[in-house]
Structure 1
């Protein structure tokens, strides 16, 4: 039973850590964001295509996938649990 408790605690800690990390990144991005350009400055005619995902989102997703891989490799997650969590992250 202690292995299950450890796995549950690890999952909760990973989830909380991920949320805290995303919140901090959003705050840092907002703090370092340049103010809106003045009305007299020229506005670009057309922006390029929007990226599929922001780099921060990709970094967070990769970190979560790595964490899942470590949990799976250590035997904390079964194959089915690993596959389900990986599908949830990638969708």
Structure 2
């Protein structure tokens, strides 16, 4: 369970970092355009934020294998876990 909690925290931190970075880049581009005397054009709308993966490890203990697999699958989809790590953890869940 410790690995899943850590992976969920990393996924959240990565998501927040990405949003902050995009917001800063947009702000800096507007400042650069204003300094150059070019009228600022509206930036392309940012894609909608991906929904956060369900955090089964943060729920009550004994969430069940289905909840753990949902969380594990979302972590693999987010790129937090490799396929080999996914296989190893899922084998431990169902053993």
Is TM-score (shorter-chain normalized) higher than 0.5? no
TM range (shorter): 0.3 to 0.5
The alignment's TM-score, normalised by the length of structure 2, stands at 0.42
TM-score by length of 1: 0.43
